Amino acid sequence: MKSKRYKANSILISNTLAFTVCFMIWMVFAVLGIPIKEKLNLNQTEFGILAAMPVLSGSLIRVPLGIWTDRYGGRIVFFILMLICIPAVYLLQFAHSYWQFLILGLWMGLIGGSFSIGTPYVAKWFDREHQGLVMGIFGAGNAGTAVNKFIAPAVIVAFGWTMVPTLYAVILTIIAIVFWFTTYTEPSHQVEASVKFSEQLRLMKDPAVLRYSQYYSIVFGGYVGLSLWMVSYYVQEYHFDLKHAALLAACFSLPGGVLRALGGWLSDKYGAYKVTWAVMWVCWVVFFILSYPQTKMTISTVNGPLDLNIGINATIFTVLLFTVGIAMAIGKASVFKFIANDFPKDMGTVSGVVGLAGGLGGFLLPILFGLLVDFTGIRSSSFMLMYGCVSVSLIWMHFSFKPLQEQKI
């Protein structure tokens, strides 16, 4: 008879590994979309829509998946989700038309809903004092987007882009089998059968849920949107080849996933509010700097015209991107610490709602990035948009928590 601690640790490891693979597949168009873009001769907006399709379906499915996790348990829901998505991943290599890629992207993207399953499934096996850290460790599976940027370019260069779907389908099949035999079910973690779906859905109207959804649309939605966009950004702005562009883009994606565990630990130690507030300020400063476009100007001086070139080179850009990746990783964990504190019995449902908001942010941002570039011709307009979004978040957060802070005084 295995102990509860053994089962909890096994579930944490298996869930984190499975989520890493799921996220790797969910973000596949960040790299795979580039040869597809060239093959179909897509413009920036069409590329943004293609990259965002998996994010859309993976976001919309999060609420029902969270509800089903609370009701039926995370093990069976997670396993079935992975099995459903295997055919879509494999069939991707046979698509020829733009609409076919969009449809398969929607189907394959369901796997992005795995976050709303794994978070409450893992958290309920641990005590409240360690839930922030545990959810952060599980959320480190976001690093799957960086794993994708290491694997996919190498496979594309060696075998062509059609080999990527085959390889990823095999990996997903293996991880689904491993997951099933290394996880467990605890009936006491499920809501009572008498609880109606309508009662669970009523949580969507809770002001706190709406507030946390807004924060998560920045720290997670922004992370997803930028992860999908940065490889293309490096290729077009700094003229790197696909392999090197993906490697540099991983400087944002990797810390944005792995360091989520640090965010969980900080939230356990200092509280979700302080950590989230600090994260928003770091993002605000970095996005302000990144928003400045490459500029050439001529100044009339007493000695004649003076030509100036003002802009951010690839090295500084990567350092700033790395910084905001760390901030977002910490912020993703701190937001879910709010949820663990306020909604311990309904974590699946609330995680689904908040995850939906974050996912929709990740869906809309690549499309908006493409529209802004096509409309303005300025590539850094994507960071201008992010700067504006974070500004709204800071204002909303200030006025949301100000009454609570005054009550403590």
Q: Is the pLDDT of residue 344 over 80?
A: no
Instruction: Answer yes or no: pTM beyond 0.75.
Output: no
Amino acid at 321: L
> What is the overall mean pLDDT for the chain?
84
Match domain 4-408 to its CATH number in 3.40.50.740, 1.10.10.350, 3.30.750.80, 1.20.1250.20: 1.20.1250.20
- Residue 125 has what pLDDT? 85
Confidence of residue 407 (pLDDT cuts 50, 70, 90): very low
> Residue 301, exposed/middle/buried by CB under 10 A (0-12, 13-18, 19+)?
exposed
Q: What number is the average pLDDT over the span 185-190?
A: 76
- Residue 89 has what pLDDT? 94
Which residue, 115, 114, 116, 95, is CA-closest to 105? Answer: 95
- Residue 104 has what pLDDT? 94
> Residue 237, exposed/middle/buried by CB under 10 A (0-12, 13-18, 19+)?
middle
Q: Is the pLDDT of residue 406 over 50?
A: no
Which of these ranges, 29-43, 184-198, 274-288, has the smallest mean pLDDT? 184-198
Residue of 331 and 195 predicted with greater confidence: 331
Confidence of residue 313 (pLDDT cuts 50, 70, 90): confident
Q: Spell 146-165 as b/e; 16+ CB within 10 A means b.
A: bbbbbbbbebbeeeebeebb
- Residue 376 has what pLDDT? 87
Q: What number is the average pLDDT over the span 263-287?
A: 88
Amino acid at 238: Y
* CB contact at 8 A, 64 and 352: yes
Percent of the chain scoring above 70 in pLDDT: 92
Which residue, 339, 402, 35, 15, is CA-closest to 209? Answer: 339
